Amino acid sequence: MTPFSVEQSIVIPLDRPNVDTDAIIPKQFLKSISRSGFGSNLFDEWRYLDHGEPGQDCSHRPLNPDFVLNQPRYKGGSILLGRENFGCGSSREHAVWALEDFGVRVVIAPSFADIFFNNTSKNGILAIVLPETVVNGLFDTVTQTEGYQLRVDLSAQQITLPDGEIIAFEVDSFKKHSLLNGLDDIGLTLQYEADIVAYEEKRQAEAPWLFN
């Protein structure tokens, strides 16, 4: 996965609590196990005015003009601001795949559902928990200020506001290492590839009949 270092972007304010994974990527799109191609169906039922189906060309579908992703002022944003209990519902990794495929690299919220939170770092997305009062302040500022940007520095564990104010955030050291180095579960395992190969060769020499 793509390593995460610093992300500076327009902030997309999704002002809804308890955003569940079925809203992030509806169930009909779970037929595919590919990790790409879900971005056009992110928040499908909120984003479009018709019903979406897998493989459908979304370029001509009617858009909901009131939904935040369809508003020109937030186009190209890669930092998503959410409310409490973001990512609740069923434990579908597709939800994180859809966010990542759309271009979201950071999600900031007062709280996250546990499984969704763990899936983010495995797929190159930094999920940041901030106090609700801080998130409320960010929502107020973002909605009142067109083009509002934040700079997120994972190494320093800091969010820098346009006026220079810095907000520190906590992140698990293992997740931080994985994100900084672009290591998903497979990448973490392949760090020990030489040891795995050596063990397999040793085991085959000791018990060749198991490999016939």
- Amino acid identity, residue 120? T
Q: Which residue has the higher pLDDT, 11 or 34?
A: 11
- Collapse the DSSP code of 112 into the 3-class scheme (helix H, G, I; strand E, B; otherwise coil) and give the result: strand
Note the pLDDT of residue 63. Answer: 97
- Collapse the DSSP code of 10 into the 3-class scheme (helix H, G, I; strand E, B; otherwise coil) and give the result: strand
In a domain? residue 139: yes
Domains contained in the chain, number: 1
- Amino acid identity, residue 34? S
| Residue 174: domain span | 6-181
In a domain? residue 109: yes
Note the pLDDT of residue 188. Answer: 66
CATH number of the domain within which 52 lies: 3.20.19.10
In a domain? residue 212: no
In a domain? residue 56: yes
pLDDT digits (tens, 9 = 90+) for 156-208: 999 999 999 999 999 999 999 999 998 776 666 666 667 777 777 788 878 78
In a domain? residue 192: no
Structure tokens at 103: 């271009």
Note the pLDDT of residue 34. Answer: 75
In a domain? residue 64: yes
Q: How many CB atoms lie within 10 A of CB 38?
A: 24
In a domain? residue 191: no
Compute the 3-state secondary structure of the chain and give helix, strand, coil in percent, each to the nearest 5: 40, 15, 40
pLDDT digits (tens, 9 = 90+) for 67-96: 999 999 999 999 999 999 999 998 889 999
The H or E element spanning position 21 is helix 21-24
Q: Which residues, at least 6 apart from 40, have a Cβ–Cβ distance to it below 8 Å?
A: 58, 102
In a domain? residue 91: yes
> How many Å separate Cα 57 from the centre of its chain?
23
The H or E element spanning position 186 is helix 185-190
Note the pLDDT of residue 51. Answer: 94
pLDDT digits (tens, 9 = 90+) for 6-22: 999 999 999 999 999 99
